[in-house]
A and B are shown apart, each in its own frame.
Chain A
Amino acid sequence: MADYTIKVRRYQPESGEPAYWEEFNVELDPSLSVLDGLLQAKDRDDGSLAVRCSCRAAICGSCGMKINGKSGLGCQTQIGEAQEQADKMAAIGGKTAAEASSPVGALADNAGVHTGGGTATATNAPIVIEPMGNMPVIKDLVTDMESTHWTKIRRVTPWLLPHGEPPEREYIVEPESMVDITQSMACIQCGACVSSCLSMEADPLFIGPAALAKAYRFVGDPRDAETTERLTDLAHDPHGIYDCTHCFSCVDACPKGVAPMDQIMRLRRKAGENGIEDPNSGHSHEMAFVNIIEKKGTLDESLLLQESFAPGVLGKLMPTKRAIKEMIGSLPTAVRGIKTGKMRSLPKLIPGVHHKLPGGAQDEVKAIYKHAEEHNEEFNLYIKGEEGDAEAAVEERLEPDSADYLPTAGEKEA
């Protein structure tokens, strides 16, 4: 048993008051969950504390919330671990996780609505609990998932579309294909990825990680007959698969290892493989990064726009109308970049001035590319296992042919 202070961002819509923070003191075993802590507070202190929950075992997906600023499930986060994290954040930032994680934190604290336990110190900082992000709050930790999450799920035509009548018995499919999409079937629709999505914060219309992972569940399903239509739809939507910025937040937040971003990348790859026209230039934008880094080792930002809209020599000699339009359209962004100091140095402004990496470093980059191409494997938890094992497996694979691509110090000097 240990004592904890949980600091909950509360909102009681019928009170007429804005959101406020309230601290509860709870006493429970460190191995129990943050949700157990909340339920204890609800049972003992205040039954009006609203939180959706049901299974307590990370399978129903009800208790999505932010704990110390990080989106996840209340039932899956041990309260002892949450305490360590809160202490760590307080020690680093010299402030509570609430202030660090959310501007609302600071505001509500200033409003002075603050009750309950002792003051926060670096060694026993309160565990900060907030409703999920990117969704309207209904009451306390209960968010409106219907208007956000579920509306987006329905956007991707979330049901199987096979051709014709089903076979007499089961569809015969590759065993691996079912294991593959079982990773996205493992999604419990908790919304943690949506809550953490930085792209959706910038573009609320972004279809988002959960819905796109759901889309991959059908695109990757050999029984579905509308693969091309689905991919075209998602590639053409300006808020579709190319709206993701690769930030990994959703991978980090997902309690079930669905790795939504990976599913989005698979959708992109399949769209590319299927030669789906891409009016958002998302695919060529991605390829621009790949090609520039392969050549120069680091990003030559002055080339990025040209490569994205008018890729290759041919693209530049005979730019399409759209490319010209897009390039002109991008000028204000470039100007803003210069004005705000993001693009100040010469190499960032003038194409071609950007330096290659010194010494053998550029060769190392090329070796990594080569390795990636040769080991074109999917990372799938159902096949590869958990992190520790995956790392071990990767090491195993690297060792035998490591000399192939990692130049030793001696070679470098030579």
Chain B
Amino acid sequence: MPSHDVLVIGAGLAGQRAALAAAEQGVSVGIVSKVHPVRSHSNAAQGGINAALNPDDTWESHAFDTVKGSDYLGDQDAIEIMAREAPEEILHMEHLGVTFHRNEEGKLGTRAFGGASAARTYYVADITGQAIMHVLYEQLMKYSEQITRYEEWFSSSLAIDENGECCGVVTRNVADGSMELFQAKSVILATGGSGQIWKPTTNALICTGDGIAMAYRVGAKLMDMEMIQYHPTTLAGKGFLITEGARGEGALLLNKNGERFMEKYAPNKMELASRDVVSRAEQTEINEGRGFPDGTVALDITVVPKKRIHEALREIVLVGRDFAGVDITREPIHIKPGNHYTMGGVKTDVEGRTDIPGLYAAGEVACVSVHGGNRLGANSLLDTLIFGKHSGRDAAARALRTDWSKPSGKVLEDEQAMIDDISGREKGSGRRVSEIKLELGQTMDAKVAVFRDEAGITEALETVRRLKEEAKTAYIDDHGSIFNQDLLGAIELGYMLDVAECSCIGALERKESRGAQYRTDYPERNDEEWLKHINLEKTEDGPEISYSEVTITQWQPEARTY
């Protein structure tokens, strides 16, 4: 039985940063990931990472922009920590080797981003997430004696001891199908978001809400699960992301009449308003018949100088060429709002601690909450690094003062039984896993998207609950041990359905419009009744709702205009 003081599940930016931070404290660390770490979805973050690093910028300004962006649902103590520590973290990444863009003086240079009152986004062309993650992986290789990597190990269940504390995780070695209980004194979930519940989505196929569901199943509270970001610029049908950096570089949004419609919705910030605002504006244009026949509006990048496009937006040149057949340097590209980010997640404090002692969460899987109702562009990479670091340090400190303990139940045997059950289903005994996933994705994208109402969300919830029943008899084709992706897909479907149910419940419960949650039947923000987090906890009868206060330090809620 492999054992580590600190075990990190997931190896994107949050996970790798947590592992490095824990290792610095001198504890033994294991990092488990269902894909090779560099395949993690942090790769897809294109535009950059925010920090008030320029002498004429302030962390308070960054913090306020984030609070306002969150539609005042973000917890201001956490936001302050993130904004304060951002400059030091960017410098740390630079020192480790990230090839950040430089200005003419050879110092770190910035670009403009949405919802920000200063240009404070640091970047590597439009591959910022990839560049940072590959540098962190370099560090994991460097510190291989302190940090053991378990690459392509799929985690399926958290282990809880008789005191209700987390003491490990059950995993499956994808390469040979062997099952192991990994023992740990602290477990950090860094498994990312759950975008695959929606179809289309910008999220990778691996973003199936694993950590959110695993934590929920052992009794951790989830928070603000209704807050799902639709990114304003995604390719129709395929969901591929066009970075906000394009608008940061000056690209315009136009409707089919060639009108720069953002003038109507955000006269000051225009294309660089918060994402929820821009996505709603686009969807309104499309719904009211001013979009193109394929249900899109246009993003015109041709206004950006060609040399600048090649230097700063090269990935978008490739995405346009390879996935849309469009040369973005010569013609506008058709885009629409698309599912992008899970603001909600496992409820944690500022050290990443969940409600379960010994269990931590950091990054998109977690809800600290620094993003509240709407995340600002280039704050997600920052979130992963800052709270990855905090989680890693606190998890290490806990490990140093904690004894080893054992799971109270037979987790390994239970997992094996669960797998045997899935494997044992006869072909044709139920639906195919892929069919259920498709119906789930289409339902959620139709009913729990940019605009929502009670009837639609209720319909989605009913569908999700039916699909949960159908998943119990869904069959798979592969009954082998080696690289059985079919089986893992069935387990992932279970995660997705649990998370989808929570997102529907949250969306139904919040009877107001705030951030990404826009209820056409409750179109106003209602601070009196709804300036609070919605918490969900698993019971026999489904998620049980409770509330928690939003932490306000220095910024009282006010009307939000851009």
Contact = CB atoms under 8 A, between A and B. Distances in A.
Q: Do A and B come from one complex?
A: yes
B434 A389 contact: no
Nearest to A78: B322
A53 B310 CA distance: 27
Interface string A29-42: 00110000000001
A54 B206 CA distance: 6
A174 B102 contact: yes
Interface stretch (A158-166, A315-323, A330-338): A158-166
A31 B310 contact: no
Given A76-B322, A160-B138, A382-B314, A60 B41 contact: yes
B264 interface: no
B552 interface: no
B489 A47 contact: yes
Nearest to A73: B322
Among A61, A159, A386: residue with most chain B CB under 10 A:
A159
A203 to B, nearest CB: 24
A184 B502 CA distance: 42
B314 A146 contact: no
Contact of A175 (B36, B41, B106): B106
B41 A55 contact: yes
B432 interface: yes
Contacts, number: 182
B482 A13 contact: yes
A212 interface: no
A189 B204 CA distance: 17
Interface string A83-108: 00000000000000000000000000
A221 interface: yes
Nearest to B311: A382
A295 to B, nearest CB: 39
Among A76, A169, A170, A189: residue with most chain B CB under 10 A:
A170
Interface stretch (A137-145, A194-202, A297-305): A137-145
B368 interface: no
A173 interface: yes
Contacts of B319: 57-58
A159 B96 CA distance: 8
B349 interface: no
Given A138-B175, A160-B96, A54 B310 contact: no
B138 A170 contact: no
A129 B294 CA distance: 32
Interface string A375-387: 0000001111110
Contacts of B103: 175
Interface stretch (B70-78, B245-253, B400-408, B472-480): B472-480
A31 B235 CA distance: 13
B111 interface: no
A151 to B, nearest CB: 11
Given A55-B43, A57-B241, A60-B39, A182 B131 contact: yes
A223 B489 contact: no
Please report whether the interface of chain A is mostly helix, strand, loop or mixed according to DSSP.
Answer: loop
Interface residues of A, number: 66
Nearest to B94: A170
Contact of B107 (A57, A172, A382, A386): A172
Nearest to B108: A170
B335 interface: no
Contacts of A12: 480
Contact of A57 (B44, B91, B311, B321): B44
Contacts of B486: 42, 47-48
Contact of B130 (A59, A170, A173, A178): A59
Given A59-B44, A159-B97, A173-B106, A142 B206 contact: no
Nearest to A31: B325
A50 interface: yes
B127 interface: yes
Interface string B330-374: 000000000000000000000000000000000000000000000
Interface string B24-46: 00000000000110111101100
Interface in A7-63: 12-14, 31-32, 42-44, 46-48, 50-62
A47 B108 CA distance: 48
A13 B481 CA distance: 10
Given A48-B486, A58-B318, A139-B483, A186 B476 contact: no
Contact of B204 (A32, A56, A178): A56
A220 B484 CA distance: 41
Nearest to B315: A59
B205 interface: yes
Given A13-B482, A47-B477, A178 B39 contact: no
B104 interface: yes
A154 interface: yes
Contacts of B478: 47-48
Contacts of A142: 483
Interface in B299-314: 306-307, 309-311, 314
Given A54-B204, A386-B317, A60 B43 contact: yes
A52 B101 CA distance: 32
Among A54, A146, A173, A174: residue with most chain B CB under 10 A:
A54
B286 interface: no
Contacts of B477: 46-48
Contact of A158 (B138, B306, B321): B138
B196 to A, nearest CB: 10
A131 B96 CA distance: 35
Given A59-B130, A60-B39, A169-B91, A182 B434 contact: no
Among B41, B94, B319: residue with most chain A CB under 10 A:
B94
Contact of B102 (A57, A178, A385): A178
B156 interface: no
B56 interface: no
Contacts of A76: 322
A213 to B, nearest CB: 12
A179 interface: yes
Contact of B97 (A46, A188, A223): A223
B71 to A, nearest CB: 29
A187 B127 CA distance: 10
Given A48-B478, A62-B35, A185 B134 contact: yes
A181 interface: yes
A12 B482 CA distance: 9
Given A159-B138, A160-B138, A172-B105, A145 B38 contact: no
B268 to A, nearest CB: 31
Contact of A178 (B99, B151, B432): B99
B240 interface: yes
A57 B45 CA distance: 12
Contacts of A46: 477
Contact of A384 (B97, B134, B310): B310
Given A58-B319, A62-B36, A256-B318, 12 more contacts: A42-B486, A47-B433, A57-B323, A62-B39, A154-B141, A170-B95, A178-B100, A182-B125, A188-B130, A189-B38, A382-B125, A383-B311
6 contacts: A44-B434, A55-B39, A57-B44, A154-B141, A185-B131, A186-B125
Q: Lowest 8 CB-CB distances: which A-B pairs, in order?
A: A160-B97, A43-B434, A47-B486, A48-B478, A47-B477, A175-B102, A166-B95, A385-B310
